[in-house]
Structures are given as C-alpha cells and as structure tokens.
Amino acid sequence: MSRRTLVSAMASAAFGGILLLYLLLSADVDLAQVERLVLGLRPEGLAEVTLLLGLNSFLAAEKWRLIDRHLGDPGRPAMPRLIYFAFTAIGVGLGQIVPVQLSLALCRSIGAHLYGGRGFMRGGTATLFDQFFDLLVAALLGLASVLVLTIGGGALTWAFWAFILGVAGLFLYGAAARLVAGAARSLGSLGQGRLCEFCANLGLSPLLAPEIGLRLFGISALRFLVLVLIGMVSANAAGVEVPLWHLAASLPFAVIANALAITPGGIGINEWAVTSALFALGTPFQASAQWAVVNRVLVAAGAGLCGIVGFLIAAAAKSSPPRRAV
C-alpha cells in the first residue's frame, strides 16, 4: 500500500469518526451512555445479527453465482456454492474497514481468479450488477418513504406505495433491458472495431434478459428484508422503541448512503442518513442515534465473524481441485 493510499484511508476513517461523534453530540448522547449501551449488549443479540448477516451474505453470493454463470467461457472450472459465499462474506467483513464496494469487488475478483481466471472482469461485473439491483430496490422503497413524508400516512400507506413502485420498477426494468439490448445489437452491427464488438456482445448477453433481472431484483428485495430484521434485533438490543415500519422506510436511505460513501463501512454517513430518516418519520432523534450506534457495533462484529467463517471456508477449499463445468 502506498503512503498516499494509507493517508487517504486514515483521513476517510477520521472523517467518518468525526461524523459519528457529531451525531452523538447532536442527539445529546454522551460517551458514557454509549459505553453503557455497548457493554450492556447481550450475546444473543450478536448471535442473531451474525446469523442474519450470514443469510444476507448467502443471498448476495447467490446473486453473484447467478451473474457469474453467464459470464465468460462456459467450460471454465466451476466455483462451488460455498466459495461464492466465502468470498462474499470476506468482502462484507472487510467492508467494515474499507468501502464495501471496493472490498466486495476485490474479494470476488480473487475468488473468480482462483477458479478460471479473468477475475477482475468477473468479480467487478458481478459486484456492479449486485449493487445495481440493491440500489434499485432501495431507490424504489426510498421513493415510497418520500411520498409518505410528503403526503402523510403510516405503515399501510408506506406498504401500499412500496408495492406499487416495486411492481412499476419491475416493468420499467424489463422494458429498459430490452431497449438497451436492442440498441447495443444495432450499434454492434455498424462495424468491426472494439467498441462495436463490445456492443454486440452486450446486446447478446443473457444478463440483460428480463427473467434474470427479475430473479436478481427478488433476491435484492429479500436482502432488504433481512436488513430490516437486523435493525429490529438492534433496536431490541439497544432497548429503544423503533416502529418496524420506520426501520423499513428509513433503511433505503442507509443502503444508498452506504453505496456512495467513501468512509470505511460507510461509518458516519450511514448513521446520519438512517437517523435523519427515522427522525423525519417520527422516531425521537436520541432514540434513533442510540439505535444507529448499537446497530453499527452489532453489524461490524457480526460481519467480522462472518468474514472469519468465509476465510476458513476458502482456506479449507484451497487444496481441493477445481471441478470442471458441465
């Protein structure tokens, strides 16, 4: 690691810490209160969050597996399902100390390289598609939250708009995917250059098939549900009352902030986004900040444990010969 990279990483970590500290001060939560909250966490809460994060990593690994099956040479060595999970869990674990987009892309690229080469293309492309559908789900649900904040309403109103926008998003994605594929094929037929070749390959890619997009969208929706359950466990562990629908309506903003954040694990930015959304929806600001801190601690610890499990799985599988795809 170069000196410039190290300095940038330390600066982003310091910036995230300052943002988190400012949140606590703004919410009138002193450090002694934070210490009591963290030290008072019960092991059962950490166990539940770790299991839910493991499920979330498994769902993300299934998305990667679905995308990876349609990339590159079909005759390359096949990656076992556990390896998809292992490198995804490692990436999520490392995502607590570096931006998760980078950690996931890096770990998946390493895993793909060990099973058939062209790791950067396969790992990077899978992460882009993975993040795209997570962000699409978050954007649609976030729009439902904005509508509730604008026109009023409660849990049923939010659920209604979330359903309507989700269905509309699926139809729009299908139409957009067909449009992009058709345009790419047309551009690809215009010549023999690299750009035309890329467009032709893109137009024929099964990744733009609406059926695959539907499956990826569905898995992203399940992953969001798991995040809501994690938030509920954190609220119980912190001893604060946060309505379940408030968590569901505020977490889309945390997902978007986490995807765009430059701080390690989105620290500070993530907490400000979700705390502000919870407060706007009616949860007291202090309770929202307390939940955010406890959720950060539990998620960081749980992700680290899942990352260790993923590393042990990858290490155990290292000596096994790769299987050929059928």
Q: What pLDDT, in 10s, does the model give residues 212-256?
A: 888 889 999 999 999 999 999 999 888 888 899 999 999 999 898
- pLDDT at position 326 is 38
Residue extents of the structural domains in the chain: 42-270+297-324
Per-residue buried b or exposed e for 33-53, using 16+ beta carbons within 10 Å of the residue's own CB: ebeebeeebeeebbebbbebb
The three-class DSSP label of residue 260 is helix
Q: What pLDDT, in 10s, does the model give residues 84-124?
A: 999 999 998 888 887 777 788 888 888 777 776 555 666 66
Residue of 222, 125, 208 lying closest to 166 (CA atoms): 222
Could you give the CA distance from residue 170 to residue 173 in angstroms, rounded to a whole number? 5
Q: What pLDDT, in 10s, does the model give residues 19-48?
A: 888 887 887 877 777 777 777 778 888 999
Task: Pick the more confident residue, 323 or 94.
Answer: 94
The crossing angle, in degrees rounded to 10, of helices 81-94 and 43-68 is 120
Say yes or no to pLDDT of 288 above 80: yes
pTM of the model: 0.85
Beta-carbon contacts of 106 under 8 Å, excluding residues fewer than 6 positions away, are: 91, 94, 123
- pLDDT at position 94 is 86
